[in-house]
């Protein structure tokens, strides 16, 4: 669980019923609360996580009729975190990351509109 003092330094970027992403300006990092753990990512590793999750072909895995386990290991080089996720968890993590990046893009658009109109 996240301590209240830590949470006051974090900005909630996006959350779902299965997880949340927080931004910490003081530490210049992201915190991903997902699958029972809170993981800290710098910008580069956070983008690598996004790329790794987006690269998983969920439809192909669902249609695969072999007896391979329905588990995916997400390991990112130069990062301290590893996820071992079921297909349902992968879908939930992908939803969390997609929502996060939509919110970041929306924030960027609003910032550009507000500050470009004030000039």
> In terms of residue numbers, what domain contains 89?
11-116
Low-confidence ranges of the chain (pLDDT < 70): 1-8, 117-119
Report the pLDDT value the prediction gives residue 65, as an integer from 0 to 100.
78
Report the pLDDT value the prediction gives residue 45, as an integer from 0 to 100.
95
The answer to whether position 17 is within a domain reads yes
Report the pLDDT value the prediction gives residue 119, as an integer from 0 to 100.
60
The answer to whether position 3 is within a domain reads no
Report the pLDDT value the prediction gives residue 72, as an integer from 0 to 100.
92
Report the pLDDT value the prediction gives residue 7, as an integer from 0 to 100.
58
The answer to whether position 5 is within a domain reads no
The answer to whether position 1 is within a domain reads no
| pTM of the shown model | 0.86
Report the pLDDT value the prediction gives residue 2, as an integer from 0 to 100.
56
Tokens 């879908």, residue located: 91
Report the pLDDT value the prediction gives residue 95, as an integer from 0 to 100.
97
Report the pLDDT value the prediction gives residue 29, as an integer from 0 to 100.
95
3-state helix, strand, coil in the chain (%, to 5): 45, 30, 25
The structural domain count of the chain equals 1
Contact 19, 33 (CB under 8 A): yes
Query: Which tokens go with 10?
Result: 């974090």
């Amino acid at each position: 669980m996240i301590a209240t003092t830590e949470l006051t330094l974090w900005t909630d970027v996006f959350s779902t019923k299965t997880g949340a992403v927080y931004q910490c300006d003081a530490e210049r990092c992201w915190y991903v609360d997902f699958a029972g753990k809170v993981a800290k990512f710098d910008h580069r590793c956070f983008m690598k996580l996004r790329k790794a999750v987006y690269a998983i072909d969920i439809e192909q895995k669902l249609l695969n009729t072999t007896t391979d386990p329905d588990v995916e290991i997400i390991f990112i080089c130069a990062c301290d975190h590893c996820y071992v996720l079921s297909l349902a968890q992968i879908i939930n993590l992908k939803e969390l990351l997609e929502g996060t990046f939509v919110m970041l893009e929306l924030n960027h658009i609003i910032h550009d509109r507000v500050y470009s109109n004030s000039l």
